[in-house]
Chains A and B, each alone.
Chain A
Amino acid sequence: MGDRNTSFTVESRMTPDALSGLHQAGFSRRRFLQSSGVLIVAFTAADMADRFGVAPGVVAAQGGNTPQTLDSWISIDASGHVTVYTGRAELGQGMSTVQTQLVAEELSVPISRITLVQCDTAITPDQGTSSGSQAHPVNFNHGNLALAGATAREALFEMAATRLDVPIDQLTTADGVINPRGDASKRVTYGELIGGQRFSMTLKREARRKSPSSWAILGTSVPRIDLPDLGPVASNSWTTSAFPRWFMGAS
């Protein structure tokens, strides 16, 4: 981390949330493009525009990115920790929790293993305005975010099939570990698959999202990640570093 601190001066101006997210994942927007030990799925405003039947020019005119620009991404590091970078802000409606749930579901990792970095101009994309129906928990760029998770999961399954010498359709995953269905003796973690290599991919439209009948995290009532965690459930680091000011008054 010392290396990053000295070579990337923007960090000194970053919020504690963003900094902790950055350090956990180990990647900044500039650096992740050239780093190893990570799997990155990026997607663009063009995907979003097309998906919702909007011309890319309209997205740009509304303050979103041009189709050529990276819009958002998720990354998984060599320890299996997932970082989601998003340009949509929490307005209190629970979007940060939902974004985390989406990725946790598609990747089959616990919510505690995900760091969500929201709206830090040094490292997150400009996704335009977060307001009204553009920032609702069930109506933002959720399709892309889930597809990015599914894209990453499918890539990890391909790697695991080769590594374990088991056909893809016989593999299953839980808690960041892939193993043949019904055989826990053969197993490989996401972190082990990524190792010191670097995988970069764009959003795969045909990636298959999990069917709602198999959801374990989506569709359940999970504690908000922006409220203090009082329970026995592992706390999300983002939660503890960002104790909401409105709950306690001035700090």
Chain B
Amino acid sequence: MSAITLSVNGQIHTVDVDPTTPLLYVLSDNLDLRGPKFGCGLGQCGSCTAIVNGRAERTCVTPVSMVAGATITTLEGLGTPQELHPLQKAFIDEQAAQRGFCLSGVMLTAKALIDQNPEATESEIQRTLTNVLCRCFTQTRMLRAIKRYAQERV
């Protein structure tokens, strides 16, 4: 066990865990953040995505020791029902949701991209989202929502 300090959604947390513990488990079990989802557990589906130091990362395959001291944003760090983040509002405006299990990963992947590249083209958005799997076929609406967010943000 070792003490690891993380900045998550603007709050500093110190957890005492096995350093090989996946970041996803720490977020979920130690910090009670259930936005990131356990999907494949292999870093392939994207449902566990969080933003770590500005980059979208797969938390299920990231040992917590690798992100000691990092700044992390999960779905909970975006907005609240009362004060939606513009990205969440765009998803609602476009009705871009079905089952929702993938949405946390989709939103955080999109946010990391648009934060880095506010003028990302449609094909850049598509390429980035390629590795976030969704089986409900809401992709076209999600892409519209992400584009709307990018446009309204400028």
- Chain A residues at the B interface, C-beta cutoff of 8 Å: 91-94, 223-224, 227-228, 230, 243-250
Are A230 and B32 within 8 A (Cβ)?
Answer: no
Are A92 and B97 within 8 A (Cβ)?
Answer: yes
Give chain B's interface residue range (CB within 8 Å of chain A): 20 to 34
Are A230 and B74 within 8 A (Cβ)?
Answer: no
Report Cα–Cα, A227/B84, bound state, in Å.
13
Are A230 and B98 within 8 A (Cβ)?
Answer: no
Are B76 and A244 within 8 A (Cβ)?
Answer: no
- Chain B residues at the A interface, C-beta cutoff of 8 Å: 32-35, 74-76, 79-81, 84, 88-89, 91-93, 95, 97-101, 103-104, 136
Which residue, B76, B89, B100, B136, has most C-beta atoms of chain A within 10 A? B100
Instruction: Please judge, given known A-B contacts A230-B92, A246-B103, whether A92 and B98 are in contact too, CB under 8 Å.
Output: yes
Are B89 and A224 within 8 A (Cβ)?
Answer: no
Are B100 and A250 within 8 A (Cβ)?
Answer: no
Residues of A contacting B92 in the complex (Cβ-Cβ under 8 angstroms): 227-228, 230
Residues of B contacting A92 in the complex (Cβ-Cβ under 8 angstroms): 97-100, 136
Residue from the list B33, B84, B89, B93 in contact with A249, Cβ < 8 A: B33
Residue of B nearest to A243 (CB): B81
Report Cα–Cα, A245/B81, bound state, in Å.
10
CB-defined A-B contacts under 8 Å, sample of 16 = A92-B136, A93-B98, A93-B99, A94-B98, A228-B81, A228-B84, A246-B103, A247-B103, A248-B76, A248-B88, A249-B34, A249-B74, A249-B75, A250-B32, A250-B34, A250-B35
Are B99 and A91 within 8 A (Cβ)?
Answer: yes
Are B95 and A227 within 8 A (Cβ)?
Answer: yes
Are A249 and B98 within 8 A (Cβ)?
Answer: no
Report Cα–Cα, A244/B99, bound state, in Å.
10
Instruction: Please judge, given known A-B contacts A227-B95, A228-B81, A230-B93, whether A247 and B34 are in contact too, CB under 8 Å.
Output: no
Report Cα–Cα, A245/B97, bound state, in Å.
12
Residues of A contacting B99 in the complex (Cβ-Cβ under 8 angstroms): 91-93
Are B81 and A250 within 8 A (Cβ)?
Answer: no
Are A246 and B104 within 8 A (Cβ)?
Answer: yes
